[in-house]
């Protein structure tokens, strides 16, 4: 079988990755419609041997469509995803619009694929940082339940879209040339700088990205009892996020057990060479399907043997967004 498919937000960074992944994985397309805002309508985008024309999204855009891969921003999704679902589509939405809706499954295929069965027309793709953490933590949690997660992220410009990636490059050139540079996409200069993630800070002091990692993980794992705290930071990396993850398990666990579990885990690649001090890096994670996991060690601050530290890197645009959504569609 093949499926009549639409990409909503086709001209963005994730939209471009959708197109690449659909070709690479030979997704069974009966037809493909590219949808975006009016300013992108009429743009020509190559796809295989064809050249597709971007259409302005309207309420009639989903007639005759079976699958929608959406990454056009929360406000657009809130408006058009229910319309698409009412027209008979299944929408895999990459925005935050529906993630915490109790009636919408929030899915990482390596973690909770069975939740897809409960969809009512919309399936939510988790936040990129959540996906990158969940893929390696879940197989460990299944073997030895995790009681607490402390995570610090090192998030690339790609998380803020193509415009932020371009701004990082422009800012780096300006810095090296000794010129002043005023950012327009990010709140602070990204080049040669590190700052708190550029999402709103709530009354509890946690920014929105940090809150997403906590609440989404508890929903995906079906484990509201897991204690999670996150610190999310933007770093001058073009693409692929990294995370330092500290885990407290229910029972003692060894480094060897962690490596053995993760070596057999789907979507994970071990990069853990202590002799060369070679561990996961964004450059190696870029364009990779797997989450790279390494620098695995016992947490010496937990004398009961229940603590593990590890460092991970994953491509935010790929597994953190487009690939995860396509994998959901493949399961459908």
Tens digits of residue pLDDT in 131-179: 999 999 999 999 999 999 999 999 999 999 889 999 999 999 999 999 9
Contact 323, 289 (CB under 8 A): yes
Query: For residue 204, what are the contacts with CB-CB under 8 A and spacing of at least 6?
Result: none
pLDDT in the model for residue 161? 86
Q: Are strands 122-124 and 44-47 parallel, antiparallel or unpaired?
A: unpaired
Catalytic residue (choose from 197, 241, 295, 306): 241
Banded pLDDT at 13 (limits 50, 70, 90): confident
pLDDT in the model for residue 73? 85
Q: Which of 189, 155, 196, 126 is nearest to 315 (CA)?
A: 155
Highest CATH level, class, for 130-316: alpha beta
pLDDT in the model for residue 302? 95
Banded pLDDT at 74 (limits 50, 70, 90): confident
Banded pLDDT at 10 (limits 50, 70, 90): very high
Q: Which CATH architecture has domain 3-125+321-331?
A: 3-Layer(aba) Sandwich (3.40)
Banded pLDDT at 198 (limits 50, 70, 90): confident
pLDDT in the model for residue 69? 98
Query: For residue 186, what are the contacts with CB-CB under 8 A and spacing of at least 6?
Result: 157, 160, 164, 167, 198, 234
What mean pLDDT do residues 81-105 have? 96
Tokens 């024309």 -> residue:
53
Q: In the predicted model, is pLDDT for residue 96 greater than 90?
A: yes
* Cα–Cα dist 129/240, whole Å: 10
* Cα–Cα dist 193/187, whole Å: 12
pLDDT in the model for residue 162? 85
Q: In the predicted model, is pLDDT for residue 241 greater than 90?
A: yes
What mean pLDDT do residues 299-319 have? 97
Tens digits of residue pLDDT in 17-65: 999 999 999 999 999 999 998 889 999 999 988 999 999 999 999 999 9
Tens digits of residue pLDDT in 85-95: 999 999 999 99
* Per-position DSSP letters for 252-288, written without gaps between them: ---HHHHHHHHHTSTTEEE--BTTTTB---HHHHTT-
pLDDT in the model for residue 89? 97
Domain boundaries, the chain: 3-125+321-331, 130-316
Exposure of 192 by Cβ count < 10 A (0-12 exposed, 13-18 middle, 19+ buried)?
A: exposed
* Cα–Cα dist 22/5, whole Å: 11
Q: Which of 331, 321, 304 is nearest to 148 (CA)?
A: 304
306 is an active site residue: no
Contact 200, 187 (CB under 8 A): no
Token pair listed for 102: 């109790």
pLDDT in the model for residue 326? 98
Residues in the chain: 332
295 is an active site residue: no
Exposure of 170 by Cβ count < 10 A (0-12 exposed, 13-18 middle, 19+ buried)?
A: middle
pLDDT in the model for residue 211? 96
Catalytic residue (choose from 128, 197, 232, 295): 128
Alpha helices in 74-155 (DSSP H): 74-86, 128-143
231 C-beta neighbours (distance < 10 Å), count: 16
Contact 321, 71 (CB under 8 A): yes
What mean pLDDT do residues 1-10 have? 95
Tens digits of residue pLDDT in 250-277: 999 999 999 999 999 999 999 999 999 9
Q: Which long-range contacts (CB under 8 A, 24 or more apart) does 255-263 make?
A: 255/296, 255/297, 255/298, 255/308, 257/143, 257/144, 258/140, 258/296, 258/308, 258/310, 259/296, 261/139, 261/140, 261/143, 262/136, 262/139, 262/140, 262/293, 262/296
């Amino acid at each position: 079988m093949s499926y009549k498919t639409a990409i909503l937000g086709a001209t963005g960074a994730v939209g471009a990755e959708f197109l690449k992944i659909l070709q690479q994985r030979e997704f069974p397309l009966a037809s493909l419609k590219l949808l975006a805002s009016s300013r992108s309508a009429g743009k020509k985008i190559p796809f295989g041997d064809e050249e597709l024309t971007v259409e302005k999204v309207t309420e009639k855009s989903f007639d005759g469509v079976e699958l929608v891969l959406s990454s056009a921003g929360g406000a657009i999704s809130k408006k058009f995803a229910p319309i698409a679902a009412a027209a008979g589509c299944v929408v895999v939405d990459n925005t935050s619009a529906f993630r915490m809706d109790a009636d919408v499954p929030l899915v990482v295929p390596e973690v909770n694929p069975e939740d897809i069965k409960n969809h009512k027309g919309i399936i939510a793709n988790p936040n990129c940082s959540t996906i990158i953490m969940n893929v390696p933590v879940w197989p460990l949690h299944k073997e030895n339940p995790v009681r607490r997660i402390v995570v610090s992220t090192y998030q690339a410009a790609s998380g803020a879209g193509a415009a932020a990636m371009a701004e990082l490059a422009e800012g780096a050139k300006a810095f090296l040339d000794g010129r002043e540079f005023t950012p327009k996409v990010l709140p602070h200069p990204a080049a040669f700088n590190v700052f708190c993630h550029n999402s709103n800070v709530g009354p509890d002091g946690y920014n929105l990205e940090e809150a997403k990692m906590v609440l989404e993980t508890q929903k995906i794992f079906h484990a509201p009892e897991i204690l999670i705290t996150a610190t999310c930071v933007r770093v001058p990396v073009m693409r692929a996020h990294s995370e330092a993850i500290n885990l407290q398990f229910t029972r003692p666990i060894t480094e060897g057990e962690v490596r053995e579990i993760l070596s057999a885990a789907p979507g994970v690649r071990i990069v853990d060479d202590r002799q060369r001090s070679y561990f996961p890096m964004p450059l190696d994670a870029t364009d990779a399907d797997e989450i790279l996991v390494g620098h695995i060690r016992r947490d010496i601050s937990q004398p009961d043997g229940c603590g593990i530290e590890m460092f991970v890197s994953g491509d935010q645009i790929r597994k953190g967004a487009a690939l995860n959504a396509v994998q959901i569609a493949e399961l459908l």
